[in-house]
Amino acid sequence: MRFLPIRRSLIVLAVACLGAAGAHAQDRAVPTSRAQVQLSFAPVVRETAGAVVNVYATRSDRRQNAAMEEFFRRFFGDGAPGLPPGRSQSSLGSGVIVDPSGLVITNNHVIENMNEVKVALADRREFEADIVLRDPRIDLAVLKLKGATSLKAIEIGDSEALQVGDIVLAVGNPFGVGQTVTQGIVSALARTQVGISDYQFFIQTDAAINPGNSGGALIDMGGRLVGINTAIYSRSGGSIGIGFAIPSSMVKVVLNSAKSGARRVVRPWLGARLQAVDGEIATSLGLDHPTGVLITSVYDRSPAAEAGLKRGDAILAVDGQPVDNPDAFGYRFTLKGAQGQVPLTVLRGGKQTGIQVRLAPPPEVPPRDPVRIRSRSPLAGATLVNISPAVAEELQIDMSDDGVAIAELDEQSVAASVGFQKGDQIVAVNDERIASTKDAERFLNRSGGYWEITINRGGRVFTTVFGR
């Protein structure tokens, strides 16, 4: 089995026959009114479907430039690893109008790496769209329709009020066949360990969602948006009744960031490393079952340190909401924003206590001082930044006292072509330790055509040699 973003361009038709002759006789209650006979989801659909849109995204890749070709010929000869010729890519998904001014929420993976986005409304009007904000870690993006005004928007509901067994509707554009509505129930809440995004806390539903439903609406019986359909669990790429949606509580966080003019979602920083509490740890803590997250280290001058949190403490709840693993903690903590304080329920020495933690974004100390490498080197086309708590949080890398990391990487750059990745930490160049972006720029420029670059990638340190 595998988890799939629901955006692939397959055409599959399935006919399901519900009920069959010869079924065991069952007791049935006779309807007592016309209203019971005519029970339908149509009123909810009429109220909400107009706010669900189709999102079309395309990208035209350019051919590699002459400088890159020269680099490859010089250092790799005729067998140089080049890039494929220019080509056009496309993506099809769904979205939801969440503000009459033309703000649309969709999945980031629908528009990822795309440079042209168009949105088609239910009434067949089409608009070009600007990407206002994208957040790969949550897998959400906000679009702004150009020239759109007074559009029908959907009310955002409270996903925290959902219960397992609640009826929900999924609205989207599966397989590109046109707007489609399916019905099911909430199968589970707070699904983590799914492996879809960094903030894993999903609503699971059996409402049929398929490729093309990505970014579409999950709606409750009050006609409110309670989730954004994001992925399916599937063997074949089609729905087998296990779908996942990002809760509307997280949608609000992303939307509020976009409305404030931010280009990215600002998250609160705890400043501590966490791990899940397993059975053995639970026993050692005196818990009757595994729950909470264990603090394994605390960074100096962080909100966790200021609050007095210590290695070995177990965080059981955020503002009264239980957390069972680091994913659940990250979700609950992010919902609190980056201002004020939040109470944590902490187990220490066998006793529970409440600790107030300051909510603040991770600091940019030292300043990131970005440098785009333009010299003829293996890192050409990469943007390097100084590592700070803010950078470490954004790139999901371990915090270090100093150093630099790749923050941006052009897909068709030399750096990408020779294997560098976003988030790589550049430890040394030709045995010279890199403490800042200025160091990196200086050492790369004076290499003389030979580069021995040491990289830290996810805790694995290795050295790659380029040149003669």
**CATH architecture of the domain formed by 1-8+43-265:** Beta Barrel (2.40)
List the catalytic residue out of 94, 159, 197, 214.
214
pLDDT digits (tens, 9 = 90+) for 290-341: 999 999 999 989 999 999 999 999 999 999 999 998 989 999 999 999 999 9
- To the question of whether residue 109 is assigned a binding role by annotation, the answer is yes
| 24 catalytically annotated | no
Q: Which residues contact 373 (CB under 8 A, 6 or more apart)?
A: 379, 380, 381, 382, 383, 384, 415, 440, 441, 444
List the CATH code of the domain at 272-358: 2.30.42.10
Same fold, 272-358 and 371-467: yes
CA nearest neighbour of 100 among 38, 29, 152 = 152
| 139 catalytically annotated | yes
Torsion region of 230: left, alpha or beta (phi above 0 gives left; psi -120 to 50 gives alpha): alpha
List the catalytic residue out of 99, 139, 206, 220.
139
Mean pLDDT in consecutive groups of 10 residues from the start of the chain, 468 residues? 47 32 49 69 91 88 48 44 52 92 94 89 93 91 94 94 93 82 90 58 86 90 94 65 89 93 90 94 94 94 96 97 91 93 96 97 94 91 95 84 88 91 94 93 83 92 86
d(CA 203, CA 234): 16
pLDDT of residue 355: 97
d(CA 414, CA 375): 11
- To the question of whether residue 313 is assigned a binding role by annotation, the answer is no
List the catalytic residue out of 109, 413, 436, 447.
109
- To the question of whether residue 61 is assigned a binding role by annotation, the answer is no
**CATH architecture of the domain formed by 371-467:** Roll (2.30)
Q: Structural domain boundaries of the chain? A: 1-8+43-265, 272-358, 371-467
- To the question of whether residue 214 is assigned a binding role by annotation, the answer is yes
pLDDT of residue 84: 46
pLDDT digits (tens, 9 = 90+) for 430-466: 999 999 999 999 998 886 788 899 999 988 999 999 8
First-last CA distance in the chain: 46
- To the question of whether residue 158 is assigned a binding role by annotation, the answer is no
Question: How many Cβ atoms sit within 10 Å of the Cβ of residue 229?
Answer: 30
| 214 catalytically annotated | yes
pTM value is: 0.78
